[in-house]
Amino acid sequence: APIPPPDLNTCRPNLGPPVPYSCCPPVNTTIVDFRPPNNPPMRTRPAAHLANADYMARYNRAVQLMRNLPATDPRNFMQQSYVHCAYCNGAYFYPAAQGLNGGQIQVHGNWLFFPFHRWYLYFHERILGNLIGDPNFALPYWNWDSPDGMNTPRMYTDSRTYPALFNERRNQQIYTRPVNLATGGSSNMTPQQIANNNCTVMNNEMIRTATTLETFMGSPYRRGNAVPNAPGTSERGSHNAVHRWCGDPRQPAGEDLGNFYSAGRDPIFYGHHANVDRMWTIWRQGRANNQRDFTDTDYLNTQFLFYDENSRLVRVRVADCLDNARLGYQYQTNGVSVPWTNCPP
Ligand code: C2O
């Protein structure tokens, strides 16, 4: 059977260290089912390093408005970070658990990784657009898979011009060096060597070793299963590396990006995950139609709950997020290269 949606009434408020607060969302007994939009206008998520000043100012303003919402509003910026905490740090259990771990909802290390984060960004983006009155607003993506985008994009580093997109709790190395996708750690490599090495990392996880749905997406995870620890190549590789790269070693648990509970407190998380999501779209495009998605109904019928831009609690199914265009967004391709299909030896 599929993992059921969480029961907000049984969300556990005390998770223990390192989580210092409750990340349970407000309870709402009215739940609406998601309906895919009919012919949605296409929103284009820009590469963060190519975004113009007007876009960056709008995104900054949207996040500022999100931060200004009352602390208990599910659209509030901290509440948005709690979503990740609740789904990832053990706050949600489903009933009739076969032991504590069997009943935990965990969206990492299994086939729910890509769909969960796609939905999470979808609602985050809709809320931001709503706050600035722009239904066409689209999140930026941090194009870390291409040499042009490997440095931290300016919108996240210029604390004077874009204060709402800045965060103190970051590894200071991200301000001076390109991301190291191999380990997320520091190295003695030159920027050129890092770029070449990153190319190989991307080629391996997107092409060479990502030959089946399970190797790329992660292992099945069903109701009654213990939480598998079997992430796909992309999650285990570049995704984890960028979290490690950005998390602040001066903080007790690598906050913010270095821990599930705190990752969503840094706006760079959403740019990072937009690129992770973009990797899913690129990988799917390279597959034959009948091999793009798991057809297992335990996968397709897994459900999550999110608050939308009108603070309605929405129940979504994995099956409704497989095609990003059907959700009304795509990724900028203009001026963006995909260098890792063919790397220097
Ligand atoms: Cu839910 Cu990048 O982690």
Beta strands of the chain (E only): which ranges? 31-33, 43-45, 303-307, 313-317, 329-331
* DSSP 8-class letter at 143: -
Residue 196 has pLDDT above 60, yes or no: yes
Specify which residues 43 forms β-bridges with.
329
pLDDT at 96: 58
The two tokens of residue 336 are 């963006």
Residue with tokens 């030159």: 190
In a domain, 308, yes or no: yes
Q: Which amino acid is at 40?
A: P
Distance CA 68, CA 62 (A): 10
pLDDT at 233: 98
CATH of the domain at 292: 1.10.1280.10
Residues of each annotated binding site for Cu cation: 84, 108, 117, 239, 243, 273
Distance CA 40, CA 37 (A): 6
Residue 29 burial by CB count (10 A; 0-12/13-18/19+): exposed, middle or buried?
exposed
Structurally, the chain folds into a number of domains equal to 1
* Ligand 1 centroid, distance to 237 Cα (angstroms): 12
117 is an active site residue: yes
Q: Compute the chain's Rg from CA coordinates.
A: 19
| Residue range(s) defining the domain that contains residue 228 | 8-341
Segment among 92-106, 171-185, 219-233, 290-304 with least mean pLDDT: 92-106
pLDDT at 345: 77
Question: Per-residue pLDDT tens for 84-99?
Answer: 999 999 999 876 545 4
- Ligand 1 atom closest to the Cα of residue 117 is 1
pLDDT at 95: 67
Query: Does the Cβ of 118 fall within 6 Å of ligand 1?
Result: no
pLDDT at 104: 84
In a domain, 1, yes or no: no
In a domain, 111, yes or no: yes
Going by C-alpha positions, the residue among 166, 157, 192, 199 that lies closest to residue 178 is 192
272 is an active site residue: no
- Please give the mean pLDDT across all residues of the chain: 95
- DSSP states along 120-145: HHHHHHHHHHHHTT-TT----B--TT
Question: Per-residue pLDDT tens for 108-166?
Answer: 999 999 999 999 999 999 999 999 999 999 999 999 999 999 999 999 999 999 999 99
In a domain, 325, yes or no: yes
Query: Does the Cβ of 108 fall within 6 Å of ligand 1?
Result: yes
Distance CA 88, CA 273 (A): 15
In a domain, 3, yes or no: no
What global pTM score does this model have?
A: 0.97
pLDDT at 320: 98
- Ligand 1 atom closest to the Cα of residue 84 is 1
pLDDT at 344: 80
Query: Does the Cβ of 317 fall within 6 Å of ligand 1?
Result: no
* DSSP 8-class letter at 270: H
Specify which residues 47 forms β-bridges with.
141
In a domain, 100, yes or no: yes
pLDDT band at residue 102 under the 50/70/90 scheme: low
- DSSP states along 43-86: EEEPBGGG--HHHHHHHHHHHHHHHHS-TTSTTSHHHHHHHHHH
Distance CA 56, CA 54 (A): 5
Report which of residues 99 and 248 the model is more confident about: 248
Distance CA 198, CA 182 (A): 6
Q: What percent of the chain is modeled with pLDDT above 70? A: 98
Distance CA 140, CA 59 (A): 9
In a domain, 2, yes or no: no
* Ligand 1 centroid, distance to 209 Cα (angstroms): 21
In a domain, 64, yes or no: yes
